[in-house]
């Protein structure tokens, strides 16, 4: 019998963030949700692609995170693009705020997952990549992929 508290089940991942930004530091945060939002997340209906985090009035708020409405929900169903509060310690919020005031830094969500029965989100302090950085990363991935392919081919011979 597996221990449910240590089990992490991925809901959604923001692969675009790794392509568009240099990830400097990551944080794990809780997220304040309604019941229908949690039920929709259990069905895996979430999109993080265009979402970002802002610090407002001493609170971390995630914006543009799309959680689809729950099919069996009634008139009290949630707004798919509502702003949602992130649950962080005060010192973490102050650290995020200090990093964002520096030039070119932003806070992006990386992935959302269940940790036991709780919904957690990983956010990161990130610095935007230039076009030549993105090209360099793509070239590195292609070189690694072709090296692995050559190695696998040599093993078969």
> What pTM does this model have?
0.74
Q: So where are the chain's domains?
A: 4-129
Q: Which residues pair with 66 in a beta bridge?
A: 47
Per-residue pLDDT reduced to its tens digit, 37-72: 888 888 888 888 888 888 989 898 999 888 888 777
Which CATH code is given to the segment(s) 4-129? 2.40.280.10
Cβ atoms of 63 and 53 within 8 Å: the answer is yes
**Cα Rg of the chain, angstroms:** 19
pLDDT value of position 1: 45
Per-residue pLDDT reduced to its tens digit, 81-112: 888 889 999 998 988 888 888 777 888 999 99
pLDDT score of 4 more than 80: no
């Amino acid at each position: 019998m597996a221990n449910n508290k240590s089990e992490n089940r991925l809901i959604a991942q923001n692969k675009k963030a790794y392509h568009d930004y240099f990830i400097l530091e990551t944080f794990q945060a809780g997220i304040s949700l309604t019941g229908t939002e949690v039920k929709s997340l259990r069905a895996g209906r979430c999109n993080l692609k265009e979402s970002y985090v802002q610090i407002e009035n001493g609170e971390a708020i995630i914006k543009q995170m799309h959680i689809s409405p729950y099919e069996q929900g009634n008139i009290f169903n949630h707004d798919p693009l509502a702003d949602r509060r992130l649950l962080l310690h005060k010192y973490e919020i102050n650290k995020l705020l200090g990093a964002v005031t520096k030039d070119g830094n932003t806070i992006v969500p990386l992935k959302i997952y269940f940790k036991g029965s709780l919904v957690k989100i990983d956010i990161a302090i990130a610095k935007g990549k230039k076009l030549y950085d993105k090209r360099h990363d793509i070239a590195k991935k292609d070189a690694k992929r072709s090296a692995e392919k050559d190695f696998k081919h040599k093993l078969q011979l």
